[in-house]
Amino acid sequence: MSQYNEYSTEQIRSMDKAHVWHHLTPGAAAEKGMPLFVKGEGLDLWDIEGNQYLDASAGGVWVTNVGYGRKEIVNAISEQLMQLNYFAGSMASKPAAVFADRLIDKMPGMQRVFYASSGSEANEKAFKMVRQISHKEYGGKKHKILYRERDYHGTTIGALSATGQLQRRDQFGPFVPGFIEFPHCFEYRSQFGATEDYGLKAAQLMEDVILREGPDTVGGVIIEPITAGGGVILPPEGYLKAVEQICKKYDILLIVDEVVCGLGRTGKWFGYQHYDIQPDIVTMAKGVASGYAAISCTVTTEAVYKRLQEDSADDKMGFFRDISTYGGCMAGPAAAAANMTILEEENLLENCATLGKTLLDGLKTLQAKYPIIGDVRGIGLLCGIELIKDPDTKEPVDESVAIQVVNACKQAGLLIGRTNRSFDEYNNIVNMSPALCITEAQLERVLDILGEVFASLPEPK
């Protein structure tokens, strides 16, 4: 019997309004009442009033890669927690060892897994690794970390210091010193106008910042392989390879933030694997356990690991002196291992790649029909639509239009996402990231509803 059965719908809603502080939600919206979901199965969600929705947002924030209601994962968590739920990550455990081994098998060139509980925390670990190496090997001088305009790396002060989205940062400063922004690589809004070698020119903009700051002061560069919340921006041709080469040239650690893209979202295990690069550090969370447990991983090469070990028996400070309380909770790696088994046994990466192409083709068909759609882009089941007023100027619509699209889809029973409190001007992008187990019929419904919504919109002004 559920522990919630004694409460009526009205009581639950009253408790929610009185006590729950909802994420990224203005108070006026919360006061009206938020959707209250009570059940999920596959890609389907039901709210407390019994309304059914098709979730094409993977839990709202790119999380539920294998969908809702996966008994295999729930059973794996339950079995592990009954046997042993927790011991600090300074000691060994079966689920941590087994999942790390399986994960590294998907990541040639990587070797070590540091567990924590969120994407922000995973990136904080990466930053601390860069800073400690700077102190150990460069007298603290090579401490700066470069991040890219439009990328998002988390909600803690350190992670926000490395985030290229003004509205996410606004009013939360001052930020951590030593984090330096470099320009975006968004070809649709090219800094150079139309050009055949945009990717190489965009990478050169990063090198220009390194040279301005001084290569001997820059220890790390962090990027998303595909910018997610900042607009679903794919790297242009040659860009990531050039970024990798620049980092090697100046002895800079390359950190790839796979919090959104990791574990199959793009049709490969990791987004960076589409681009033939070898990171030094890879961070991940969200789809690692599809939201069934809180887990993140900061994965490094063996070379990085060895640089963060003690230099002698008398060296008390040379190893990586860090811990994450919930990095020791065994629900995380138990859920992650079961999640990975589903991805493998159901061939969900292949499904993602195949139906992702179908989704992108369907969005391009809508683009050809509706001038408000300025650009569609994506890879795997990570797709975005940029809404504009004019195809020639590419002037973005007001974000109220993106909100209107999202709300109209919701009214029709479809949940999609949008760029939300990120930019002053470019909150004009809606996005789709359904679970990787989506069917052709469900994908057709997504496209049908989007078509109906765009057909109902007035001409942009």
CATH number at residue 402: 3.90.1150.10
458 pLDDT band (50/70/90 cuts)?
A: confident
Element (H, E) at 407: helix 399-411
Alpha-carbon 145 to chain mean position: 19
Q: Do 398 and 381 fall into the same domain?
A: yes
Q: Do 351 and 329 fall into the same domain?
A: no
Q: Do 298 and 421 fall into the same domain?
A: no
33 pLDDT band (50/70/90 cuts)?
A: confident
Asked which of 325, 345, 365 is the last residue of a domain, the reply is: 345
Cβ(336)–Cβ(295) below 8 Å:
yes
How much is the average pLDDT of 109-120?
98
Average pLDDT, the chain: 97
CATH number, residue 214: 3.40.640.10
Residues counted in the chain: 461
pLDDT in tens, 410-428: 999 999 999 998 999 999 9
114, burial (CB in 10 Å: exposed 0-12, middle 13-18, buried 19+):
buried
Q: What is the pLDDT of residue 402?
A: 97
pLDDT in tens, 195-232: 889 999 999 999 999 999 999 999 999 999 999 999 99
Q: Do 335 and 396 fall into the same domain?
A: no
Q: What is the pLDDT of residue 461?
A: 67
Query: HEC string of 315-343?
Result: CCCCCCCCCCHHHHECHHHHHHHHHHHHH
Q: Do 230 and 90 fall into the same domain?
A: yes
1 pLDDT band (50/70/90 cuts)?
A: low
Q: What is the pLDDT of residue 169?
A: 95
Q: Do 305 and 444 fall into the same domain?
A: no
Strand order across the beta sheet in which 52-55 lies: 37-41, 44-47, 52-55, 414-415
Residue 461 covered by a domain: no
Task: Write out the two tokens for 438.
Answer: 């989506």
Cβ(419)–Cβ(386) below 8 Å:
no
Task: Write out the two tokens for 405.
Answer: 């699209």
Residue 388 covered by a domain: yes
Asked which of 345, 380, 401 is the last residue of a domain, the reply is: 345
Largest CA distance in the chain: 72
**Percent of the chain topping pLDDT 70:** 100
CA distance linking residue 421 with residue 229, whole number of Å: 10
Tell me phi and psi for residue 62, to 5 degrees.
Answer: 60, 40
Would the pTM of this model clear 0.95, i.e. be above it? Answer: yes
Looking at the predicted structure, is the pLDDT value of residue 272 above 90? yes
Q: Which residue has the tokens 């809702």?
A: 68
Q: Do 79 and 53 fall into the same domain?
A: no
pLDDT in tens, 315-348: 999 999 999 999 999 999 999 999 999 999 999 9
Q: What is the pLDDT of residue 2?
A: 81
Tell me phi and psi for residue 207, to 5 degrees.
Answer: -60, -35
Cβ(326)–Cβ(411) below 8 Å:
no
CA angle 266, 272, 275 (to 5 degrees): 100
Q: Using DSSP bridges, classify how beta strands 44-47 and 52-55 pair: parallel, antiparallel or unpaired.
A: antiparallel
Residue 137 covered by a domain: yes
Q: Do 145 and 284 fall into the same domain?
A: yes
Report the SS3 class of residue 449: helix
Residue range(s) defining the domain that contains residue 42: 35-66+347-456
Q: Do 386 and 309 fall into the same domain?
A: no
Asked which of 291, 310, 345 is the last residue of a domain, the reply is: 345
Domain count, the chain: 2
Q: Which residue has the tokens 């839990």?
A: 59
Q: How many Å from the N-terminal Cα to the C-terminal Cα in the chain?
A: 54
CA distance linking residue 69 with residue 211, whole number of Å: 51
154 pLDDT band (50/70/90 cuts)?
A: very high
Query: HEC string of 130-157?
Result: HHHHHHHHHCCCCCEEEEEECCCCCCCH
CA distance linking residue 65 with residue 53, whole number of Å: 17
The residue type of 25 is T
Alpha-carbon 220 to chain mean position: 19
Looking at the predicted structure, is the pLDDT value of residue 3 above 70? yes
pLDDT in tens, 246-265: 999 999 999 999 999 999 99
Q: What is the pLDDT of residue 326?
A: 96
How much is the average pLDDT of 112-117?
98
Q: What is the pLDDT of residue 401?
A: 97
**Percent of the chain topping pLDDT 90:** 95
